[in-house]
Amino acid sequence: MANLYKPKYKQVNTKTGEVIVRKGKKWYARYRDETGTMRREAMARDKRVAQGMLEKILKRVEQAKAGMIDPLEEQAFRPFAEHLDDYRKHMKQKADSPRHIRESCVKIKKMAKANKWCRVADILATDVQTCQR
């Protein structure tokens, strides 16, 4: 079950104190992903465009349920900087020292710059092995 909607919000008129209920400008989609989790995503201002975006999402969900999409493929094409931020958060949650976190991230950034990594899919084991420490 997936649907499109415009969220409503309340706005108070400061002069009269009257509460006005308005609809948002963007369409939002509510759907269940491949794991069964309810998701809510902003779509577009035009309803037809938003409907097309939702159909594309639902098609991807169905393919993932059928095992036609590799979940690792999606991660491989995320920007490298996002992965580095996730790794930094992981180290903080493990209670690593701030110095260790900083030094590790600096080394990784240097390797990424030297080897022109933009995505995780760009990383080769030989690139990591040949980088100077």
- Distance between CA 118 and CA 80 in Å, rounded? 5
- Distance between CA 28 and CA 5 in Å, rounded? 5
Per-residue pLDDT of the chain (133 residues; tens, 9 = 90+): 799 999 999 999 888 889 999 999 999 999 998 888 999 999 999 999 999 999 999 999 999 888 888 777 777 888 888 999 999 999 999 999 999 999 999 999 998 888 888 888 888 888 888 876 5
Q: Are 91 and 102 in contact (CB under 8 A)?
A: no
Helix (H, G, I), strand (E, B) or coil at 18: coil
104-123 tens-digit pLDDT: 999 999 988 888 888 888 88
